[in-house]
């Protein structure tokens, strides 16, 4: 039988890994660009699909979702490296798109950066969003909290205690959530679980007995 060239090419371009019943797949749709080529050389499709798998396991643990019934019903997580600008990466349902020009222009350890970005984006695949009602800054903050706990916080992030608002998002909110989690280990897991059907700032009161504004003031005072 003749080798199937199309299948061989797609094997080169896409490698998949599985954990539990979930399939992880990474594809380079920008292999003709400098960014796509740098991705393949410095990161690689096999490594990237392994990161999707490892990140998912890490997130289930961080969210205290020991059984599949606790998790979102997702059976595949897919990364596509694409020739798109405007954002580092974005996630829609279970598809993560990574910007090839971002990878191409990144200055520094691009493999560590992509790994951190994938932990953040994979969190978006699995986290609850209050049926679309959760505070956007909180959603981004939880994704960066996971990236922080996985050990992929980049050096340019704000330090603990910095920022103007608890729901400023990203690293600011991640540092604040880390503080809340230190008050009650598993806080972020409980907050995520409560956010399954809706969202209210009162969840902070329900879990920690204090309003989010009071917690933010105490957090700021601790690092003042
Ligand atoms: C991974 O994705 C590529 C591109 O969509 C596809 O051709 C390939 O069959 C997928 N592999 C698996 C194992 O799902
Ligand atoms: C995934 O996790 C395994 C087990 O902890 C580890 O050996 C491997 O290096 C990790 N792979 C990546 C790409 O992070
Ligand atoms: C760097 O960014 C610019 C603007 O987005 C893009 O046109 C160019 O292709 C990128 N370079 C690489 C090597 O990806
Ligand atoms: C994790 O969830 C289990 C129930 O599924 C619960 O008994 C346990 O207390 C939770 N752990 C934390 C740290 O919240």
Higher-pLDDT residue of 4 and 47 is: 47
SS (H, E, C) 63-85: CCCCCHHHCCCCCEEEEEEECCC
Asked if residues 60 and 126 have their Cβ atoms less than 8 Å apart, the reply is: yes
Look at residues 194, 140, 196 and name the one whose alpha carbon lies nearest to residue 171.
Answer: 140
Q: Is 102 a domain residue?
A: yes
Q: Is 152 a domain residue?
A: no
Q: Is 208 a domain residue?
A: no
pLDDT at 21: 86
Ligand number nearest CA of 185 is 4
Q: Is 44 a domain residue?
A: yes
Distance 81 CA to ligand 1 centre (A): 13
Asked if residues 62 and 146 have their Cβ atoms less than 8 Å apart, the reply is: yes
Question: Quick check: CB of 90 below 6 Å from ligand 2?
Answer: no
pLDDT at 10: 47
Q: How many domains does the chain have?
A: 1
pLDDT at 69: 92
Share of the chain above pLDDT 70, in %: 91
- Helix, strand or coil, per DSSP, at residue 24: strand
**Taking residues 168-197, what's their average pLDDT?**
98
Q: Is 204 a domain residue?
A: no
**Taking residues 151-170, what's their average pLDDT?**
98
Give the separation between CA 136 and CA 158, rounded to whole angstroms. 19
Ligand number nearest CA of 52 is 2
pLDDT at 1: 40
Look at residues 26, 21, 92, 97 and name the one whose alpha carbon lies nearest to residue 60.
Answer: 21
Q: Is 184 a domain residue?
A: no
Q: Is 23 a domain residue?
A: yes
Give the separation between CA 28 and CA 94, rounded to whole angstroms. 16
**Taking residues 150-173, what's their average pLDDT?**
98
**Taking residues 192-207, what's their average pLDDT?**
98
Give the separation between CA 116 and CA 141, rounded to whole angstroms. 14
Q: Is 136 a domain residue?
A: no
Give the separation between CA 196 and CA 71, rounded to whole angstroms. 10
**Taking residues 18-35, what's their average pLDDT?**
89
**Per-residue pLDDT tens for 82-140?**
999 999 999 999 999 999 999 999 999 999 999 999 999 999 999 999 999 999 999 99
Look at residues 141, 129, 133 and name the one whose alpha carbon lies nearest to residue 169.
Answer: 141
Residue 40: which CATH number?
1.10.390.10
Question: Quick check: CB of 51 below 6 Å from ligand 2?
Answer: yes
197 CB neighbour count, 10 Å cutoff: 9
Q: Domain residues for 67?
A: 1-126
Q: Name the residue with the closest Cα to ligand 1, atom 7.
A: 10
**Taking residues 151-176, what's their average pLDDT?**
98
* pTM (global) more than 0.85: yes
**Taking residues 30-35, what's their average pLDDT?**
98
Look at residues 91, 83, 28, 86 and name the one whose alpha carbon lies nearest to residue 55.
Answer: 91
Asked if residues 75 and 23 have their Cβ atoms less than 8 Å apart, the reply is: yes
Asked if residues 136 and 169 have their Cβ atoms less than 8 Å apart, the reply is: yes
Q: Indicate the range of 2-11, 61-70, 106-115 predicted with least confidence.
A: 2-11
């Amino acid at each position: 039988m003749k080798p199937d060239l199309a299948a061989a090419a797609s094997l080169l371009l896409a490698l998949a890994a599985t954990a539990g019943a979930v399939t992880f797949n990474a594809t380079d749709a920008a292999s003709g660009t400098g960014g796509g080529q740098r991705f393949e050389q410095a990161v690689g499709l096999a490594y990237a699909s392994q990161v999707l798998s490892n990140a998912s396991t890490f997130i289930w643990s961080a969210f205290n979702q020991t059984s599949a019934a606790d998790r979102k019903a997702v059976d595949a997580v897919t990364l596509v490296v694409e020739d798109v600008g405007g954002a580092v990466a974005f996630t829609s349902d279970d598809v993560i798109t990574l910007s090839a020009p971002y990878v191409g222009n990144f200055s520094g350890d691009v493999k560590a950066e992509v790994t951190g970005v994938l932990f953040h984006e994979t969190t978006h695949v699995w986290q609850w969003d209050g049926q679309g009602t959760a505070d956007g800054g909180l959603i981004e903050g939880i994704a960066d909290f996971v990236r922080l706990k996985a050990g992929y916080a980049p050096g340019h992030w704000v330090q603990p205690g910095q920022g103007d608002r608890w729901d400023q998002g990203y690293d600011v909110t991640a540092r604040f959530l880390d503080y809340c989690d230190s008050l009650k280990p598993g806080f972020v897991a409980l907050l995520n679980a409560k956010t399954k059907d809706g969202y209210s700032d009162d969840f902070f009161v329900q879990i920690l007995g204090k309003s989010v504004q009071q917690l933010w003031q105490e957090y700021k005072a601790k690092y003042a």
